[in-house]
Amino acid sequence: MSKVDKKKLILAAATQSFSQFGYKATTMDLVAKIANVGKGTIYTFFTTKEELFEAILQDAMQEMKDAIHKGMREEDTFFQNLFRMLDLLLEFRACHELFIKLAQEFRDIGTQQALEGLQRLESVVIDYLKQEIDKGIQKGEIKAYDSEILTFVILKLYLSLTTEWGKSKQREPLSKEQIREYILLFVSDGLTTDKSIKL
């Protein structure tokens, strides 16, 4: 087996291990066992578990960037691209086992590396969202406010409506259409019907 193939095999095994067992429980021994290689083989490519985890995160971040990039269309409106991007984020979080396991591990035992991994994955979305907001401002599709604050508010609103709202047993999760309506209400239309209100 070539060096490139061995490295791919190790990365696949490490991804499987981090996705199934989380950061804390993954060891180089476990990755070697899953990859069916000697532990020394892993150390020829990655000197520490942290370095291996970094390589996995880089792959996941690139996968997310590629998915978002494919979803953006220059000819579409700001809100069409916004909703497409947010939907891609939700799908990625729901389908990508590594993301799910890191979130669970941080929630259950507070592993700092899991939190940092989640934050780095979300930073990809934040960067793209900020770029889209800046484009929307330049095109005159949205008002010229601080794009960093807008990015924060839109992302937190979306994540709250998609993940937090349905956690209560008294509430039904919102549909995609309902989520879009509320984001449009808060972000696009605002709440007031009286446009003469001043702060």
Are the C-beta atoms of residues 182 and 159 closer than 8 Å to each other?
no
In this prediction, residue 14 carries a pLDDT of 95
Domains contained in the chain, CATH given: 1-47 (1.10.10.60), 57-189 (1.10.357.10)
CA 74 to chain centre: 22
pLDDT digits (tens, 9 = 90+) for 125-134: 899 899 999 9
Do 67 and 87 meet the contact criterion of CB atoms below 8 Å apart?
no
What per-residue confidence (pLDDT) applies to 162? Answer: 84
Query: Tell me, what's the pLDDT at 184?
Result: 87
Task: Kindly list the distances between the CA atom of residue 180 and the CA atoms of 114, 137, 192, in Å, as whole numbers in the listed order.
Answer: 30, 20, 18
The residue to which tokens 């309902």 are assigned: 178
Instruction: Report the predicted TM-score, pTM, of the whole model to 2 decimal places.
Output: 0.76
pLDDT of amino acid 191? 53
pLDDT of 110: 92
Give, for all 199 residues of the chain, the pLDDT tens digit: 788 789 999 999 999 999 999 999 999 999 999 999 999 999 999 999 999 999 999 998 898 889 888 888 989 988 889 888 888 888 887 778 888 898 899 989 999 999 999 898 888 889 989 999 999 899 888 888 899 999 999 989 988 888 888 777 788 888 888 998 998 888 877 655 655 555 5
